Amino acid sequence: MQVERLFEIVFILLHKEKVTAKWLAEKFEVSTRTIYRDLDTLSSAGIPIYTNKGNGGGISILEGFKLEKTFLSEAEQNDILFGLQCLEATGYTERSQALNKLGQLFRREDYNWLQVDFTPWGDQGNVENNFNVLRHSIIHRQVVTFEYYSGMGEKTKRCIWPYRLVFKGKAWYVEGYCLLRKAIRLFKLTRIRQIEQREEGFQIEVLEEKRKEVKEQPETKPEGNLISIRLWVSKTLAYRIYDEFEVEQVKLLEDGNFQVDLDYIEYPEDDWLYHYLLSFGKEIEVKSPESVRIKLKENIQAILQFYNEAGALQK
């Protein structure tokens, strides 16, 4: 937060003739002592800041000073703007404002060359709300409670010390210390409901120690026996092949169809696996192992039986 405040102070000084430490302290909701420390930091970085005491005094910056010539190289400017563009994609509106201000501050007109969007297609209002609550709780080190639904549909009440937000595998997670499990866990934001930021806080030093002591066990990892699978996939699903599998896992056959070999590390043998395979419809065939072929057919037969019985009841 200090870095963002420093940039904001420089931006204000470049656009105002003079301000007071008290005015800056009230704007950023910090003490005047903190503002003076920020000014010392900026001066040490080569920013020509002047302070005049007494009636009509205040804080000012050398007229004609240009930030990009003495503070940051062009490459460093690009890195900062790129980072803010990535943060803007999370929906953090303050970062969008900072991005516009820094673009002006650096006298840059090309800072919108990239758009990063982490949000999936469809309505994800619940995820956005969860993200914003967790972001605020992480920054202010406040406890969070919520209802959490596991991959098997089990609902539990959780209370965590949130540490950081993680984007992995096309989804957002929050990493934190779970008071229920007494362990560091990852929680998928789409499975979080009734989130609430509590008034009580926690010490980041204690959380850091727990992260060192407790082995991370992702809350969303499917359980089951890990196996290797070989699939035949129709060429009509080529778009899914290259979206969902690594190039090294895919072999193009002479007839244009595909052979896919899945690493056992990523594909546990449980209901999640069979639901995933069924999503390919008739355009996929399990070649091995035989146990998966048999269980997949059992799932198909169960679905067929369900629809036959439902149809009979409707008659």
Q: What is the mean pLDDT of residues 256-266?
A: 80
Matching CATH number, 125-213, of 1.20.1070, 3.10.20, 2.60.40, 2.30.30: 2.30.30
C-beta separation of 269 from 224 below 8 A = yes
Q: Report pLDDT digits (tens) over 41-84.
A: 777 766 788 787 777 778 887 766 654 444 556 666 566 655 55
Domain with CATH 2.30.30 in the chain: 125-213
Of 103 and 231, the structure prediction assigns the larger pLDDT to 231
Matching CATH number, 225-313, of 3.30.70, 2.60.40, 3.90.1720, 1.10.720: 3.30.70
Q: What are the backbone angles phi and psi of residue 149, rounded to the nearest 5°?
A: -105, 120
Rounding to the nearest 10 degrees, give the CA dihedral for residues 83, 86, 90, 93: 60
Q: Report pLDDT digits (tens) over 201-228.
A: 998 888 888 777 765 445 544 445 567 8
Q: What is the mean pLDDT of residues 108-116?
A: 54
CA-CA distance, 285 to 293, in Å (whole number)? 8
Say what percent of the chain tops pLDDT 90.
Answer: 25
pLDDT at position 58:
84
Residue 17 confidence (pLDDT) above 90: no
Q: How confident is the model at residue 259 (pLDDT cuts 50, 70, 90)?
A: very high
Domain with CATH 1.10.10.10 in the chain: 2-105
Mean pLDDT for the chain overall: 77
Q: How confident is the model at residue 254 (pLDDT cuts 50, 70, 90)?
A: very high
Q: Which residues contact 152 (CB under 8 A, 6 or more apart)?
A: 271
Please give the class, per CATH, of domain 2-105: mainly alpha
Domain with CATH 3.30.70 in the chain: 225-313
Q: Which residues contact 241 (CB under 8 A, 6 or more apart)?
A: 233, 250, 258, 260
Other CB atoms within a 10 A radius of the CB of residue 207 amount to 18
Task: Residue 72: name the closest of 49, 94, 42, 112 by CA.
Answer: 42
Q: What is the mean pLDDT of residues 140-158?
A: 87
Q: What are the backbone angles phi and psi of residue 263, rounded to the nearest 5°?
A: -70, 130
pLDDT at position 214:
61
CA-CA distance, 156 to 166, in Å (whole number)? 21
